[in-house]
Chains A and B, each alone.
Chain A
Amino acid sequence: MKKKNELLYFALRNTKLRIGMAVLLFFLLLMIIGPHLTPYKPADFVGPSSAPPSKEFWFGTTTFGEDVFTQFVYGLAPTFLVGIVGGVIGTLLGMLIGFVAGYRGGAVDEVLNILTNVVLTIPVLALLLVLVAYIPVRGVLIEAVFIGLTSWPWAARAIRSQTFSLRTRDFVGLAKMSGMSSMKIIFTEIAPNMASYLFMTFILMFGNSILNAATLDFLGLGPTEGVSMGTMMNLAVQWSALMLGVWWWFIPPGIAITCIVGSLYVMNVGLDEVFNPKLREM
């Protein structure tokens, strides 16, 4: 119990963590409250074409007369959803494969290592490219699952090498002697010893999933319905917002992604300092 309080104490004092959390919370709040602040729906044609930001339309309108602010706040939810679902799937797969490979070693390790390397070399985008042609209706969840299924290799590698160094420790040997099953040893002896590391892996995966999804959406490989930050940029570029100077259409989604992903990265560094006493700023 005391250890937890100590971590919390350092977590609350860490500037990086505080800044990251604040930015993240701001966008989460905007995601929840935002849709109640606007009377429109994202696909409604509500105003004049390409109107600059004004009192009535906070972020201006698109060339079709849709309200950019409405699209923006509705688009935040899919962005976070992809991040969380993709992050969770990626982290769990990375843990599973990393733990088993690192703990078992030998032939199992060899096979899993090859699998990791194969998945590592096939880019997510390339896989989606083929699939996209044959799945006519794609949702945010499918996209998130795909990103999760292809993003685990680096985590698996890192977790494998950590497990590898832990498995020769005395406490693991003791657990083995007491007759615990491998799975139990992994989850009660090894995993807790790298809990902070696993949590940080998730944070990074979260950010990467958002970034990946934005790129896929931008290329037109994302969900076929609804708005997201990536699709907003995609439409803006497709309908020459650049040439027409409609900057209010493509600036907000990019800022949102940069802020969210950036705050996750900064939080990660902050967490590192909290968990690792050597790095704490005194």
Chain B
Amino acid sequence: MKRYFGRKLLIYALTFFIAVTINWMIPRFMPGNPVDIMISRAGLRGSAVTQMYSYYMDAFGLDQPIWKQYLNFWIAIFHGDLGTSIFLFPTPVIQVIKDALPYDVALLLPSILLSWFAGNKFGALAARNKNLDNTLLPIGYILTAVPYMWLGILLAWVFCIVIRIFPLGGGYDFSMQPSYTWDFYWSLFNHWVLPFLSLFIVQFGGWAIGMRNLIIYELEADYSHFLEALGAPRKLIRNYAYNNAILPQVTGVALQIGVIVTGALATEVVFAYPGIGYLILQAIHNQDYFLLQGCFLFVVIGVLIANFVVDIAYILIDPRTRAGMTGGAE
């Protein structure tokens, strides 16, 4: 188990290292002076230009030797210094992202967990019921093929415009100030429902189909036939099949996490939900590069943490890894 964890941590550390290095390299090894490019694209005027120019020169430290620039970059990151946002000048990037982060967690965590549990249960049910299977299978395949944002657009159109049940746009009502009142929480909840639903529905289809296929595969395995021949109750065989099928589904979360995060970012854009996805859109429109790079770093960190959690979950569930064998989720 130590070996298993050691390997995983090494991979995560390496990933983080590579991600940060890419983040550092791209502006420096692109043709042209990044500072000039940024200033000219940001469309600043007058004294703002000179102010930003000296700020950027200082931030990039382009007059220093390359290795020193690289070192400084790392030091800055560990101090939580990701630069200053242009579009929300003079707010530091880290602050902008910190304000957006809770909205992402509020969308991602419940949608991943709930869709995973619901999808697994439903898929297992479908595997033993012909009628349910015949309806679930086509719907599931359609759902896995639907782009996240399009489902979001459809939901927004139907529930916000055609039948006006939910509000559209923002994390809470624009007329409100954030406060600890029930009205405010209610508003938060109302704005959260649809983005959550669109993430939930697409993921649900994927998990359900995956579970259905795995259960059918397990029920065809030798041990199932053997149990059947011994006269074991069907329920017992189903349970064994389910326990075996759940493992690949846990690994599936790790494989899917990047896709889910990307989907969430796109969904936020549809609903103008003030998470990191919406920030990215703003940053692109305003040519705010420090903000973009900050978002990049946080997306990578988020995915790494999620992967790590899945690893721990896998160990807790799979008796083989617990016993110290290094198999399973490699």
CB within 8 Å of B: which residues of A? 113-114, 117-118, 120-127, 129-135, 154, 207, 211-212, 214-215, 218-221, 230, 233, 236-237, 242-243, 245, 247, 250-251, 253-254, 257-262, 264-266, 269
Contacts and interface: CB of A to CB of B under 8 A. Distances in A.
A121 B11 contact: yes
B145 A265 contact: yes
A224 to B, nearest CB: 11
Contacts of B37: 134
A130 B22 contact: yes
B313 interface: no
Interface of B: 10-12, 14-15, 18-19, 22-23, 26-27, 30, 34, 37, 141-142, 144-150, 153-154, 156-157, 160-162, 168, 255, 258-259, 261-263, 265-266, 269-270, 277, 280-281, 284-285, 287, 289, 292-293, 295-296, 299-300, 303-304, 307, 330
B266 A266 contact: no
B150 A130 contact: no
Given A120-B255, A126-B299, A130-B292, A114 B269 contact: no
B146 A130 contact: no
B19 A242 contact: no
B160 A242 contact: yes
Contacts of B34: 134
Given A122-B19, A219-B266, A133 B299 contact: no
Contacts of B27: 133-134
A132 B153 contact: no
B150 A233 contact: yes
Contact of A133 (B148, B265, B289): B289
Contacts of B299: 123, 125-126, 129
A68 B46 CA distance: 42
A214 B269 CA distance: 14
Nearest to A246: B157
Contacts of B296: 126-127, 129-130
A230 B153 CA distance: 12
Given A120-B255, A130-B292, A218 B145 contact: no
A150 to B, nearest CB: 9
Given A129-B299, A154-B255, A258 B262 contact: no
A243 B164 CA distance: 11
Contact of A221 (B22, B141, B261, B284): B284
Given A214-B147, A215-B149, A258-B147, 15 more contacts: A118-B18, A120-B258, A121-B15, A122-B18, A125-B265, A126-B299, A132-B284, A135-B30, A220-B285, A221-B284, A243-B161, A243-B168, A251-B154, A254-B146, A262-B144
Nearest to A268: B141
Contacts of A207: 145
A215 B144 CA distance: 14
A114 B258 contact: no
Contacts of A118: 11, 14-15, 18
A130 B293 contact: yes
A121 B303 contact: yes
Nearest to A161: B330
14 contacts: A117-B11, A121-B11, A121-B15, A126-B296, A215-B149, A219-B281, A250-B157, A254-B150, A257-B146, A257-B150, A262-B145, A265-B141, A265-B145, A269-B141
A214 B262 CA distance: 11
Nearest to A260: B145
B153 A242 contact: yes
Given A130-B293, A258-B145, A250 B153 contact: yes
Contacts of B148: 215
B250 to A, nearest CB: 15
Nearest to A261: B145
A123 B258 contact: yes
Given A122-B300, A214-B147, A134 B281 contact: no
What are the 4 tightest A-B residue pairs by CB atom distance, in nearest-first order? A254-B150, A262-B145, A123-B258, A261-B145
Given A114-B10, A134-B27, A219 B280 contact: yes
Contact of B150 (A125, A221, A258): A258
Nearest to B140: A265
Nearest to B38: A133
B258 A121 contact: yes
Given A122-B300, A123-B303, A257 B141 contact: no
A253 to B, nearest CB: 8
Nearest to A245: B161
Nearest to B162: A245
Contacts of A211: 145, 147
A121 to B, nearest CB: 5
A175 B154 CA distance: 57
Contacts of B26: 130-131, 133-134
A130 B269 CA distance: 18
A75 B329 CA distance: 40
Nearest to A153: B255
